[in-house]
Chains A and B, each alone.
Chain A
Amino acid sequence: MNTLAVTRLEWRRLLVRPLAWVLAALTLAWLAWNFTLLLGGFLAGQIQRGALPDGPGFTDLVGVPLLGQLAQLAFLVVPLLTMSVIAGERRDGTLPILFAAGVPASSIVLGKYLAVLGWLLLWLALTLAMPLSLAHATNFDWGKLSAATLGLALMLATLAAVGVACSTFASHPAIAAAVALVIALALWSVNLGAQMAGVNGGAINWLAMSSHLQPLLRGLVSTADVSWFILLILLALALATRRLTADKERG
Chain B
Amino acid sequence: MTSPTDVSPAPILQLDQLNRRRAGRPAVQNLSLTLQRGQVLGLLGVNGAGKSTTLSMIAGALRPDSGSIQLNGADFLEQPELARRLIGWLPERAPVWAELTVSEHLDAHGRLRGLSGTALRHARTAIIERLELQPLARRLAGVLSQGQRQRLGLACALLHQPALLVLDEPANALDPVQVAALRTLIREQAASGTAVILSTHLLTEVTAVCDSVAILHEGSLRHEGPVHSDDHAALERTFFEIAMHGNTPSARAA
Check if B87 is an interface residue, CB within 8 A of chain A: yes
A168: shortest Cβ distance to chain B, in Å? 17
Check if B60 is an interface residue, CB within 8 A of chain A: yes
What's the Cα separation between A62 and B82 when bound, in Å? 55
On chain A, the residues within 8 Å of B20 by CB distance are 251
Check if A33 is an interface residue, CB within 8 A of chain B: no
Contact at A101–B95, with CB atoms within 8 Å? no
On chain A, the residues within 8 Å of B111 by CB distance are 4-5, 8-9
What's the Cα separation between A97 and B113 when bound, in Å? 11
Given A93-B91, A249-B63, A251-B56, do A98 and B112 touch, yes or no (CB 8 Å)? Answer: yes
Q: Which of A2, A8, A100, A104 contacts B59 (CB 8 A)?
A: A100
B31: shortest Cβ distance to chain A, in Å? 15
Check if B201 is an interface residue, CB within 8 A of chain A: no
- Which single residue of chain B is at the shortest CB-CB distance from A15? B99
The secondary-structure label for the interface of chain A is helix
Given A100-B83, A251-B22, do A13 and B97 touch, yes or no (CB 8 Å)? Answer: yes
Q: Which of A1, A12, A248, A249 contacts B100 (CB 8 A)?
A: A12
Contact at A2–B97, with CB atoms within 8 Å? no
Contact at B60–A99, with CB atoms within 8 Å? yes
Interface residues in A, total, Cβ within 8 A: 26
Task: Convert B49-81 into 0s and 1s, putting 1 for each residue whose CB lies closer than 8 angstroms to a CB of A.
Answer: 000010010011111000000000000000011
On chain B, the residues within 8 Å of A103 by CB distance are 84, 112
Q: Which of A9, A12, A16, A248 contacts B112 (CB 8 A)?
A: A9
What's the Cα separation between A16 and B114 when bound, in Å? 24
Q: Which of A4, A13, A100, A251 contacts B99 (CB 8 A)?
A: A13
Contact at A2–B96, with CB atoms within 8 Å? no
On chain A, the residues within 8 Å of B60 by CB distance are 99-100, 102
Task: Convert A1-30 into 0s and 1s, putting 1 for each residue whose CB lies closer than 8 angstroms to a CB of B.
Answer: 110111011001100110000000000000
On chain B, the residues within 8 Å of A54 by CB distance are none
B137: shortest Cβ distance to chain A, in Å? 16
Check if B108 is an interface residue, CB within 8 A of chain A: yes
Check if A36 is an interface residue, CB within 8 A of chain B: no
Contact at A101–B83, with CB atoms within 8 Å? yes
Contact at B91–A12, with CB atoms within 8 Å? no
What's the Cα separation between A94 and B108 when bound, in Å? 12
What's the Cα separation between A93 and B93 when bound, in Å? 9
B225: shortest Cβ distance to chain A, in Å? 29
Given A13-B100, A96-B56, A102-B81, do A248 and B114 touch, yes or no (CB 8 Å)? Answer: no
What's the Cα separation between A121 and B95 when bound, in Å? 31
- Which single residue of chain B is at the shortest CB-CB distance from A6? B112
Known contacts A13-B99, A249-B63; can you find 13 more A-B pairs with CB under 8 A? A5-B111, A12-B104, A16-B99, A92-B96, A96-B91, A97-B61, A97-B89, A99-B62, A100-B56, A100-B59, A102-B81, A103-B84, A103-B112
Taking beta carbons and an 8 Å cutoff, which residues of A are in contact with B? Answer: 1-2, 4-6, 8-9, 12-13, 16-17, 92-94, 96-104, 248-249, 251
